[in-house]
Structure 1
C-alpha cells in the first residue's frame, strides 16, 4: 500500500499519484506518470509550478458541460482533453426531491450502485478512449472529474486493473477519497444531509457494483477490457510496459 495519504497540491484536495502499488506479479506501478484528482480550477501558483515540475502534458476531464462551465480552468502548458460523462445521479436525485420524494440512505446507496453499473456498460466507449489516450500520449497526465471520486474512481480502478493490480489494493486506492476530498458546498447543491453524505463520499458497495457487473456480464476484467473496451493483449502489454517498473 502507499503511505498515509495527503494531496500533492494545495488547491486540489484529492490530487494523488496512482503509482507505487504492486501488481499480482510483484511489479510496481511507476510513479510520476499518471495522477488522479478532483477538479483543477482552484490551483495556486505553487500548484501550477508543481504541475509543471511533474511534466504533466494533458488533463483528462470527465466532467459534464455544466460542471465545466461552473469551474473552468486553463493550465499553462497542459492540454485539457474532454471525456465527458454527465453526472446523471445528481439530476435524478434533484428530480426526486422536486416530486416531494425524500430518498432514504439505502435508496441513495442503490442509486450510486446503479451509476457504477452504468459506467461499465453505458460509458464503456468513454473509458476505452481514456485508456487508449494513455497509450497514445505516454507523458505524465492527470485525470479528474469534479470530486475525483466516481467517474475518476472507476477510471483509476480500470487502469490499475489493466496493470494487474488486485482488487483489494484497487479498492484501497478508491477509498482514499474519503480521507482526502474536502467537500465544497458551492458545488454540491442542496439536499438532505443523509443523501448528500452518501453522494459526496465513496463506499466499497459502489465500486463493487461495477466489479460485479464486469464479472457477471463480461466474464471478468480481462474480458471486459478486451471485448467492451477493445484493448487486445498487445495494447495491454504496451500499457504495462509504459506504466510498470521494469525488472
Structure 2
C-alpha cells in the first residue's frame, strides 16, 4: 500500500513527523486524519513548525523518551502540554554492557537484541502503553506522540493504536517501515558504535515489529486479548476509541 498523501504532515525540524490517519481498517472504515500524529523528537522545531502544530490544533505531546534523552534535548512548545510516558532505551544499555566487555555484537546479535526490546514493549512496558491509549481517550483534541527517532517505542505505539482501530498488520507494517524513508539520522543523538551495529539500531526492520506481534499472539492470546488484558481497555473504551478516531 502506498502512503496516504497528507500535505499537513510535514515539519521542517522533525524528519519523521506524520499523520497516522488515512489508513483503511479491515472492515472498510478510514482512520480520521488530523487527530493523531507520530514523530521523532520535537526539540528542533522551527517557529513555522510551532505555528503548524498550533494550526493543527495539537494540544498534547506524548513523550516516550527516557530521562537522559529528554534532559539532553528538552523542548517547550507554546500551547502544547508535554506528557512524560517514560520508557528507557534499554537496548542501548545492553549494547554498552557488551562493549564494556570487549564484545562487538554481530548484525544478527544486534537484530536479536532489538527483537528482545520489542518483546519488552509488550510485556514490561504495557502499563506505559496503557497510559498512552487512555490519554488518547481522555483528550479528544489532536495529539502527537514521539520518542527520539520516532521508530521503536513510537513504532509500537502506532502499531498498538492502529490495531485497536482495526487496521490490518500489513498496513501497520507499511506505516512502521516508512521510518526508513523519512527519518534523518543524527550522529549527535546516536553515540559511538560500530557502523553495522548503528545501522541496525537506527533503522527499522519487519523482524522487530513481528517480534512484538508474536509476543502478543503467543503470550497474550492475540491483540484483542492483549488490549483488554495487559493494556486494560474495556470493550466500551475500544468502541469509544473507534468512534473518536474513525471517519463516520
TM-score norm. by structure 2 comes to 0.98
Q: CA deviation at 1:158?
A: 0.1
How far apart, CA to CA, are the structure 1 residues paired with 2:40 and 2:133?
A: 19
1:111-122 residue pairs with structure 2 within 5 A?
111-122=113-124
1:1-247 residue pairs with structure 2 within 5 A?
1=1, 2-3=3-4, 8-246=10-248
Per-residue CA deviations over 1:146-182 (Å, capped at 9, x if unaligned) read 0000000000000000000000000000000000000
Q: CA deviation at 1:91?
A: 1.1
Specify the SS of the correspondent of 1:80: strand
How far apart, CA to CA, are the structure 1 residues paired with 2:102 and 2:126?
A: 34
Q: CA deviation at 1:232?
A: 1.2
> Is the CA contact 1:5–1:180 (under 8 Å) kept in the aligned structure 2?
no
How far apart, CA to CA, are the structure 2 residues paired with 1:129 and 1:244?
A: 21
Specify the SS of the correspondent of 2:83: strand
Q: CA deviation at 1:4?
A: 6.2
How far apart, CA to CA, are the structure 2 residues paired with 1:225 and 1:106?
A: 31
How far apart, CA to CA, are the structure 1 residues paired with 2:128 and 2:177?
A: 23
Across the aligned residues of Structure 1 and Structure 2, the Cα RMSD in angstroms comes to 1.1
> Is the CA contact 1:143–1:152 (under 8 Å) kept in the aligned structure 2?
yes
Instruction: Structure 2 unaligned segments of length 5 or more: list them.
Output: none
Q: CA deviation at 1:5?
A: 8.3
Specify the SS of the correspondent of 1:228: coil
Q: CA deviation at 1:101?
A: 0.1
Instruction: Structure 1 unaligned segments of length 5 or more: list them.
Output: none
How far apart, CA to CA, are the structure 2 residues paired with 1:47 and 1:228?
A: 36
Q: What is the count of residue pairs matched by the alignment?
A: 246
**Which consecutive segments of 4 or more residues in structure 1 shift more than 3 A?**
3-7
Q: CA deviation at 1:134?
A: 0.2
How far apart, CA to CA, are the structure 1 residues paired with 2:111 and 2:104?
A: 13
How far apart, CA to CA, are the structure 1 residues paired with 2:201 and 2:178?
A: 16
Specify the SS of the correspondent of 1:76: coil
Q: CA deviation at 1:3?
A: 3.5
Per-residue CA deviations over 1:80-113 (Å, capped at 9, x if unaligned) read 0000000010111011111100000000000000
How far apart, CA to CA, are the structure 1 residues paired with 2:63 and 2:161?
A: 15
